[in-house]
Amino acid sequence: MSQTQLYPLRFDPIYQYRLWGGRRLGSLLSAPLPGDGPIGEAWVLSDRTDHQSLVTNGPLKGQTLGQVMEQFREQLMGKLSSRFRRFPLLLKFLDAHEMLSVQVHPSAAHPELIPAGDTAKTEAWVVIEAERGSQIYAGLKSGTTPGILRQSLNDGTIADHLVCIAPKPGDAVFIPAGTVHTLGNDVVVFEVQQNSDVTFRLYDWGHIDPETKKPRPLEVDQAFACIGFGASDSGLAAPRVETTTPVERERLFDCHAFLLWRVLGQNQFTVGATAEPRVLVGIEGSGQITHNGTVFAVGRGDVWLLPAEAGECAFQPSGEVTLLEIAIPDGA
């Protein structure tokens, strides 16, 4: 096994029940939805103990991402291999049929709020689908003090103090750790985040969990301890076009935890990078990666991890295609 040469690795989604979820991910991803209940999340690349993504192709089929990290860290992570024992990003699709809880994630400035073995959680969303009434809340309105925010929890007016975005497909929204945020009313997004599952609920719209028949617990004190009440760069991100030929490549996010580009076009182009891993996510259309003479098909909703060892690969679209390409910064 140690002599295995790494190749583009494909992973199937891990679907998650959420009371606020819907059934729209079934038309976005190739793996059928389980049961008939609300599915709010598809974890499409996860190196977490409780939810491990499985390789679905090639000699490593059936191996978990954690096992690949353990056995092939240098081949997979390249110049980043000495810094990470687990893959540092968690990638998801979210189907928010109803509103998620108003929540916040801690930053590294609050280690006392982060369980052992976990990390801070900065995240970002790329909107895939949205309806007329869809909403994203990202950050506090100017002048919102801790006192005002706490009072709004008591009188149910918290939405009045949050920056509201009417999302449309293609929008990019940045949620740095410490940002009060939520989304819902039939919006589907792709989410990139630090590999953390630390969330503090501030307000839950009166939701009752149909499985427990009770409200979900809130963590108001922990949330207030890590909310950033000053200026923030949360909210809509302005795409920055880097190239227009052979395809259009625009950078949507560039932060300490991840970089993310959107690639649009129909001519052959290059994906991946020398000595570092990249992740590809199919958003629209289809195509194929070629590596060492082998072809790997990429469709809508597919997630591929390109190991550092694979370097740059050719991508040939089948007509118009939209991909996301994700990198881990050197200083992450």
On whether both 185 and 313 belong to a single domain, the answer is no
In a shared domain, residues 207 and 165 = yes
pLDDT at 42 over 90: yes
- Position 133 confidence tier, pLDDT thresholds 50, 70, 90: very high
Check whether residue 275 and residue 209 sit in a common domain. Answer: no
Kindly state the helix (H) or strand (E) to which residue 226 belongs, with its residue range: helix 220-226
Percent of the chain's residues with pLDDT above 90: 94
The residue written with tokens 């007016």 in the block is 157
Does residue 110 have a pLDDT over 70? yes
- For residues 209 and 318, membership in a common domain is answered with no
What six digits make up the tokens of 286?
């289809």
Tokens, residue 73: 């860290």
pLDDT in tens, 155-172: 999 999 999 999 999 999
HEC readout, 63-82: CEHHHHHHHCHHHHHHHHCC
166 lies in some domain: yes
Confidence (pLDDT) at 279:
98
Domain shared by 94 and 224, yes or no: yes
Assigned token pair, 128: 């895939």
* Res 136 pLDDT > 70: yes
pLDDT of residue 241: 97
258 & 187 share domain:
no
Share of the chain above pLDDT 70, in %: 98
In a shared domain, residues 161 and 56? yes
225 and 279 co-located in one domain: no
* Amino acid at residue number 123: E
> In the prediction, which pLDDT does 330 show?
86
pTM of the model: 0.96
Confidence of residue 4 (pLDDT cuts 50, 70, 90): confident
How much is the pLDDT for 230? 87
- Split at pLDDT 50, 70, 90, the class of 231 is confident
**What pLDDT is recorded for position 151?**
97
| Residue-level pLDDT at 101 | 97
Claim to verify: residue 209 and residue 245 sit in the same structural domain = no
CA separation for the pair 257, 296 (Å, rounded): 28
Domain boundary among 236, 256, 280: 236
Q: Considering the domain boundaries, does residue 15 fall inside one?
A: yes
On whether residue 2 sits in a domain, the answer given is: no
Q: For residue 227, what is the domain's CATH number?
A: 2.60.120.10
Which tens digits make up the pLDDT trace of 56-88? 999 999 999 999 999 999 999 999 999 999 999
Residue 56 identity: T
Domain that holds residue 210: 9-236
> What's the confidence (pLDDT) of residue 3?
63
The count of domains in the chain is 2
Instruction: For residue 120, give both structure tokens.
Output: 């801070």
- Asked, as a colleague might, if the bond just before 246 is cis with ω within 30 of 0, I would say yes
Q: Are the C-beta atoms of residues 20 and 40 closer than 8 Å to each other?
A: yes
Instruction: Mark whether 231 and 271 lie in a shared domain.
Output: no
**Residue 181 clears pLDDT 60, i.e. is over it:** yes
Segment 255-307, tens digit of pLDDT: 999 999 999 999 999 999 999 999 999 999 999 999 999 999 999 999 999 99
- Report how far residue 88's alpha carbon sits from residue 90's, in angstroms, rounded to the nearest whole number: 7
Model pLDDT for residues 311-323, shown as the tens digit of each residue = 999 999 999 999 9
Q: What per-residue confidence (pLDDT) applies to 312?
A: 97
Task: Return the pLDDT at 332.
Answer: 56
Whether residue 3 is contained in a domain is answered as no
pLDDT of residue 209: 86
Rounded to whole angstroms, the Cα distance separating 112 from 108 reads 9
pLDDT at residue number 39: 98
